[in-house]
Chains A and B, each alone.
Chain A
């Protein structure tokens, strides 16, 4: 007896490679690749181009695997939120079991590759990042506290540190500054999104700051973190790692960030259009890319002179 076409739909996967790639959160991965590379480049010492490439790739795949673990665990939440309903699991393209297997295999191989070919401190940091994002953030903090993305942001901030340790094999203050910048960037970035997506988060039962503390409090906290972020953005210059070109760029980029956050703070909490919050969210992505790009570019120029 041949099984009818309808019932095979659940037995036979029609997932394309692209669906698996989407499980890795490619846009987050782009940020990870970039910041990890900056950490790797500014670190003192030499790592051959081949090993540098492998280090960044392993970090990117490890981060992607943690994203897939997140999608595996959060498929129930993702299904009820407009922003995430089209992800591979809620849309039915990839099964939860396949996602878990895929994520675990990539986690193990990325950590092992980094350990064997680069060093084990970096591998341990990558394993910790995956654990922190998948277990501490996704399974524990996200559904429990409005500080979820503040603490969970540490996972997204570690890649430049892994880039650094891939070259040096040890910790230092400089990669910690890069960590700090991304760590302080995460709350205003995510809360700006949470402001205009609060209905989605409310429906999913995720205790984001606007849902728990209200819009007005969130808007105020966004502004406070933005000021701290703009100040931390100056640290690479203050501590002497970077020069005046970076200082000028960081001041302008940070100033615009604070100004936009101030506009968010002035927004009527009852506002439903949330135009200023959307603008800040969009700008926050530009900010981080631009800040790290300038930091990197100045170092490249300094090295050439």
Chain B
């Protein structure tokens, strides 16, 4: 069986990929916080006023 073609990343590329991953994670967490806080700020206690 032929060996799969693998891309060997340079240390710089690995470092950059890790930094990008962290940045994307932080952006996603920030977005979750924004939606959560924004929902409370917009609706306040009315957040519970919904048909069950």
Contacts and interface: CB of A to CB of B under 8 A. Distances in A.
Interface of A: 1-3, 5, 8, 11-17, 20, 48, 50-51, 54, 57, 109, 113, 117
Contacts of A8: 7-10, 13
A12 B20 CA distance: 13
Interface in B1-51: 3, 5-10, 12-13, 16-17, 19-20, 22-23, 31, 34-35, 37-42
A51 B19 contact: no
5 contacts: A50-B38, A51-B41, A117-B34, A117-B39, A117-B42
Contacts of A15: 16, 20
Interface residues of B, number: 24
Contacts, number: 66
Interface of B: 3, 5-10, 12-13, 16-17, 19-20, 22-23, 31, 34-35, 37-42
Nearest to A57: B34
A17 B20 contact: yes
B34 A2 contact: no
A117 B38 contact: yes
B7 A16 contact: no
Interface of B is mostly: helix
Contacts of B34: 54, 57, 113, 117
A113 B38 CA distance: 9
A13 B3 contact: no
A14 B16 CA distance: 5
B12 to A, nearest CB: 5
A144 B37 CA distance: 45
Contact of A14 (B13, B35, B39, B40): B13
A20 B34 CA distance: 21
Given A1-B5, A2-B6, A109-B31, A14 B12 contact: yes
A77 to B, nearest CB: 27
B7 to A, nearest CB: 5
Given A50-B37, A50-B38, A109-B31, A16 B16 contact: yes
A83 to B, nearest CB: 26
B5 A12 contact: no
